[in-house]
Amino acid sequence: MLRTRVPQGGAGAHLLWVSRVCAASLLALGLTGCQQDPSEASSDDDTSEASGSEAEASSESGEAEAGTDTGGEAGSSEDTGESGEDSDSGTTGTSPDWSFGDHYGLPNIDDDDGNGNIDWFDAPNASDDDPRDMVIGAAKFDGFAADDRVRLRLAGATSQVRLWHGGSPVLGDEGNPAPLTEYIFTPSGGDETFTIEFAAFLDEATLTLEHIDGSDQVIDSDTLRLLASPLILNHHLQTAEHVYMTSMGNSNADMVDGYASALGAAFTAVPGNLVMYDQWMQDEPEFATATAPGGRRLDTVIDSIRNRGLDAFPEYYFGDEPSWFIGTWGTGPKSTLDSFGNLEISPPVTVGGVEYPFGRIYYGGGMDQGMVAFLESQKIQDPIEIDTSWLCVQHVDEFMTTVADPTSAKGFKVLFADTVSGYALLDAMNGSQSLPRFGADYNYPSVQSMQTDGGLRMHNDDVQIDVLNPLKAQLMAELGLVEEDFIYIPTIFEELNFGSCSGKSVALIPGTVNLIVGNLESGSPTLFVPDPFMRGSGEGVSSDAFANDFVARMPDGWDVTFLDNWDTYHVALGEVHCGTNVIRTPAANWWEVGLHLLE
């Protein structure tokens, strides 16, 4: 994609901007790949997901890939001198003391004016709402002699930051190979406004403001921090804003209807023909946000290198939207581990005395190192690598998730797959109970046939002892969890015996941990959960032992809606979460609660 910078009219329009190809123009963002041609997006990963008619035909081709702010410089209005707050006055202070607060902003990487260029490569304009103003109030210049001036010195990532004054770029990147690092001006007698913009997430520089006399001697000086927002991924305690899934026609119509009935206008069923009938909505996009004082918000789609049918989804729905950015990190070769069912975030935790107010990212080891390096570079959600190699699909969402629980010490519970309770529940069922869906697709026509399968029981014993217990211990250590933070979810895994999945596990009974947290701002908070179908034909979900047990284990305050995801997802080695994605509201101000992680 060609990005072109063109001269702008008005004062200071003296820059000669050059055309840049996508890879070069996005280098500042750490991006290692541009968007792929959607025609190339249909290739399978190491273990290919089934889609469309393939999903219904065979479980062996399953889910596995297997404007300018007059609010002033942060924290310096009406002169509190504190960091991180906007002001309605638009001034840095009414006191002549020479002190300033730090400045926090957004990377200017969307396309607010819709001209096809990332805004960093354009001059600020009326529609560009990402740069923030630093306004030095006239009172700061009280007592200046006639020949006194102000000198600004920029240090740090000087090519990643730009300051505008009087319509011209005066510090940082202004189109030449060497960024500008010093600027001197004579106060005009009124407020002096500097527009500050950043090129990428978490760009940082320092700005020193010096009051100098006619002999260039420094009378007073202060240094402030200029810092762009990190990219912050969403966790389940954040309010859900909108839910997406792919409509596959009749095969997942019940699931579409379930969402539509519960969520109304907050739900979109993406037409399958727009995305090559790729049903795995969780795996291609990861929604995230960057925020800044003054209510600024940049929504971001991390677009996986998976590049299958849903590669077209972000561009179709968000590509022309202002205040949205779509980026890809990593180069491949791709595998199932690069799908974003393998990328999840815990709620806020404290580990070893360190607070993580936006939670910690966790992912299955083997994800593309370019993607991992970017996530690590954002610092604020300090990623954790865990072992998912025992699973066919190898995604972290197959055995754990989190839900809010206001009554618990941490405000949430970890729902964790557990085969011990799975067999306790299975063994308590009447063996004569027919299981028509399992009989048709898994050769388990009754509860008894499942109860008496010694190999199945032995496999689940091994999974519990060799895998789930060690994973739980790792999570307790790295997320600061205790036993009371877990809710064990009865789960039965099966061992597969084909291709690259031979000897690996997948949920036999639909994995109810693989759910969607639908906590909209209005309405009842709802968990959308795979229907276990541990019952006979014509029997309602209220007669299902596994469904009833799940509801009984949930914290108070949650409604539970069971969705039929059998044909399009479960037999194709995925569940509800694998086929759904959610945009969420940012939870807190990182410049207020997260700076200790960004030193």
Count the residues in the chain.
Answer: 599
pLDDT value at residue 288: 98
pLDDT, tens digit, 9 for 90 and up, residues 270-291: 999 999 999 999 999 999 999 9
CA 230 to chain centre: 11
DSSP SS3 for 263: helix
| Bridge partner list, 413 | 403
pLDDT value at residue 43: 32
Alpha-carbon distance of 132 to 154, in angstroms, equals 17
Cβ-count burial of 81 within 10 angstroms (0-12 exposed, 13-18 middle, 19+ buried)?
A: middle
Q: Where are the domains of the chain?
A: 67-228
CA 567, 282, 475: angle at the middle one, nearest 5?
110
Q: What is the dihedral of CA 113, 114, 115, 119, to 10 degrees?
A: 60
The set of residues, in sequence order, having a beta carbon less than 8 Å from that of 290 and lying 6+ positions away, is 106, 107, 201, 228, 229, 230, 231, 232, 297, 298, 300
pLDDT value at residue 174: 86
Q: Residue 349 is inside which H or E element, if any? A: strand 349-351
Cis previous bond, 333, omega within 30: yes
Whether this model's pTM surpasses 0.75: yes
pLDDT, tens digit, 9 for 90 and up, residues 523-535: 999 999 999 999 9
pLDDT value at residue 93: 36
| Bridge partner list, 582 | 243
pLDDT value at residue 64: 47
Alpha-carbon distance of 394 to 335, in angstroms, equals 10
User: Which segments of the chain have a pLDDT < 70?
Assistant: 1-95
How does the average pLDDT of the chain come out, rounded? 87
